Amino acid sequence: MSRIATAGKWVRSWFASHRVELGLCLRLTISAVLTFVAAHFLNLAIALWAVLTAVVLTQLSVGRSVKATTDYFIATVGAAIYAGVVGTLVPHADEIWLLAALAIAVAPAALLAALNPRFSAAPFTVVLVLLAPTITHAAPLASALERVMEVAVGGVIGLLVSILVLPARAYDLVIEAAGQILDVMARLLSALFAKFTQSVDESLILNTQNEITAAFMRLEAIAAEAGHERLTRFTAEADQGPLLRTVLRLHHDLVMVARAVLVPLPEAFRARLGPLLVRCSEAAADYLRACATALRTRRGPPPLDAVVAALDAFDREMAALRQDIATRELTVDAVEQIFTLGFALDQLRAHLNDLARCVSEFAPSYTHSIAATSLR
pTM of the model: 0.66
d(CA 260, CA 283): 19
What pLDDT score was predicted for residue 305?
A: 92
52-74 tens-digit pLDDT = 888 888 887 777 788 888 888 88
**With 0-12 CB in 10 A as exposed, 13-18 as middle and 19+ as buried, what is 85?**
middle
What pLDDT score was predicted for residue 223?
A: 78
Kindly compute the dihedral angle of the four CA atoms of residues 264, 270, 276, 278, in this order, to the nearest 10 degrees.
40
* Cβ-based neighbours of 118, under 8 Å, separated by 6 or more: 71, 74, 75
d(CA 188, CA 205): 6
Among the residue ranges 107-116, 138-147, 177-186, the one predicted with the least confidence is: 138-147
277-330 tens-digit pLDDT = 889 999 999 999 999 999 988 888 899 999 999 999 988 888 887 776 655 566
E strand map for the chain: none
- Percentage above 70 pLDDT, the chain: 89
- Average of per-residue pLDDT values in the chain: 82
Give CA 3 to chain center in angstroms: 38
61-119 tens-digit pLDDT = 777 788 888 888 889 889 888 888 888 888 766 778 788 888 898 999 999 998 998 88
Residue 155, amino acid: G
What pLDDT score was predicted for residue 370?
A: 42
DSSP 325: S
**With 0-12 CB in 10 A as exposed, 13-18 as middle and 19+ as buried, what is 242?**
middle
d(CA 158, CA 172): 20
In CATH terms, 170-371 corresponds, of 1.10.1740.10, 3.40.630.10, 3.40.50.2000, 1.20.58.220, to 1.20.58.220
Cα-flanking dihedrals φ and ψ of residue 264, to 5°? -60, 145
Cα-flanking dihedrals φ and ψ of residue 319, to 5°? -65, -40
3-state secondary structure 78-121: HHHHHHHHHHHHCCCCCHHHHHHHHHHHHHHHHHHHHHCHHHCC
d(CA 243, CA 259): 25
What pLDDT score was predicted for residue 172?
A: 80
Burial 282-309 (b: 16+ CB within 10 A, else e): bbbbebbbbbbebbeeebbbbebebbbe
Domain ranges for the chain: 2-164, 170-371
